[in-house]
Structure 1
Amino acid sequence: MKYIYLAILMFISPLTLSAEAFNIKASAEQVSPLLPGLTVPNSQVLNPQGKALSTDSLFAKKPTVLVVYRGGWCPFCSRQLMGLQQITSKLEALGLQVVAISPEKPSVLKTSKLGAGYQLLSDIDLSFSQKMGLAFYLEDKTAQIYRDKLGVNFVGIDGKTQVALPVPAVFLIDTRAMVHFQYTNPNYKVRLSNDVLLSAAQQMIKDTQAL
């Protein structure tokens, strides 16, 4: 069955998206992120120029720090991504690449001030977030607040208005697309610290080198 939903966007013209809802939970607390040891299903994401990229080919280049975020409109996401720049050079020195993916449309990423030193990519239909086990529907009251204060657009789903987002998450993924570390928190205000991320990245590199 096809559902229609709209990824949250800010300060852009109205956009309606049609996509298949195959793994969107009713709340952030119900999501089931991919666990360490599991392989990330291949998916298509878009670069800021709108070109489709395969996640398998993306991860095959280098071990990856993957950040899934809600959008640049979210102050907690912006703070996380800007803070990540402080350790990007250390992560790259370990041989990792940093990739950040959100539902924002490519043109928004193209003009974003975030992501200096790493890649910003678009999961505009939330298919990747669904495969990662992160997608959920906002409850109506919160969705109404987002619409009124952020200019969020909605379309009807079976007579209702809904919006889907990913729970913010950080993954460490090797070149075979296998997850080595995962952090998610239904409370979008709580984010992984740089110190913990750097320590986990160092451990992943040791583990993969020992194989």
Structure 2
Amino acid sequence: MLKPLLMTIALTLVSVTATAKPIAADENNISPLLNGHSIPDVTLSDVNGKPVNLLKLVESKPTIFFFYRGGWCPFCNIQMGQLKAIEPKLIEMGVQLVGISPDSPAKLQASMNDNKLDYVLLSDEHLNAAKAFGLAFYTSQKVTDMYQAKLAVKNPLNTTPSGEKRLVLPVPAIYISDKQGLIHFQYANPNYKVRPASELIMTAAKLVVNQ
């Protein structure tokens, strides 16, 4: 079972190849990639529907990937605003910021407009990245029904091993990689209401840049 909080910083790492993980039964049983793993070779879509390969993306500069549940999530929108506030400092450091969610490209564009964002948002509609990073999990029937009814979440439902139709979401997470795609920092918390402080992200980014 995943501990309530996963957070580590490392300066000297050996790359480990990871394989895609199955969708976890719930948020407490995910198996997220850790420090020393490499960013998966996954291609997603940008706000214009154009393909973006994550490994190609990191070749230009160290990258902060943040996984969020969607533009419908108020906690995710707060986090997006906090990241927007530190983005100028990240740019000065030579670090790029990339958000990943199950939202469609059109919904990502709406999020960018609503929150006046300049950083990159990528669509993981088919959950390829969420599964490759080991963050995808089935929500309960209660949560699936509530999110569909009260929050108007329109994401396609996935079939559980027992044959039930459920909503699949990523556990909110932060990953920081170098230009070789090696993960130096990760934070994944099953409690979607708890997100890492901006100061922690800045400190971790500095360690990666100055390694």
Shift of 1:147: 1.5
User: 2:197 aligned with 1:196, yes or no?
Assistant: no
Compare 113-122 and 88-97 and name the one that shifted more: 113-122
| Cα RMSD, aligned residues only | 1.6
CA–CA distance in 1 between the matches of 2:25 and 2:130?
14
User: 2:40 aligned with 1:41, yes or no?
Assistant: yes
Q: Between Structure 1 and Structure 2, how many residues are aligned?
A: 187
Shift of 1:159: 4.7
SS in 1 for 2:79: helix
> What residue in structure 2 maps to residue 127 of structure 1?
128
Give yes or no for contact 2:158–2:168 (8 Å, CA) kept in 1: no
Q: Deviations over 1:87-145 (max 9, x none)?
A: 10111111100000100000111222236121111011001110001000001111111
Counterpart of 2:164, as a letter, is K
> What residue in structure 2 maps to residue 177 of structure 1?
181
CA–CA distance in 2 between the matches of 1:124 and 1:28?
19
Give yes or no for contact 2:24–2:137 (8 Å, CA) kept in 1: yes
CA–CA distance in 1 between the matches of 2:64 and 2:158?
35
Counterpart of 1:67, as a letter, is F
Give yes or no for contact 1:72–1:114 (8 Å, CA) kept in 2: no
> What residue in structure 2 maps to residue 104 of structure 1?
103
Q: Percent identity?
A: 40
Give yes or no for contact 2:63–2:95 (8 Å, CA) kept in 1: yes
Counterpart of 2:136, as a letter, is A
Give yes or no for contact 1:61–1:175 (8 Å, CA) kept in 2: yes
CA–CA distance in 2 between the matches of 1:125 and 1:118?
22
Shift of 1:151: 2.1
Counterpart of 1:195, as a letter, is E
Q: Deviations over 1:145-198 (max 9, x none)?
A: 112102234557365221100000001111111100000100000000001110
Map residues 146-157 of structure 1 onto 2, 5 A cutoff. 146-153=147-154, 155=157, 157=159
Alpha-carbon spacing, 1:94–1:85, altered in 2? closer, same or farther (3 Å): same
Give yes or no for contact 2:65–2:100 (8 Å, CA) kept in 1: yes
Q: Deviations over 1:48-83 (max 9, x none)?
A: 010111111111111001111000100000000011
Give yes or no for contact 1:82–1:115 (8 Å, CA) kept in 2: no
CA–CA distance in 2 between the matches of 1:40 and 1:110?
25
TM-score (norm 1): 0.84
Alpha-carbon spacing, 1:187–1:161, altered in 2? closer, same or farther (3 Å): same
Counterpart of 2:207, as a letter, is Q
> What residue in structure 2 maps to residue 81 of structure 1?
80
Q: Deviations over 1:21-74 (max 9, x none)?
A: 962000111111111111111001000010111111111111001111000100
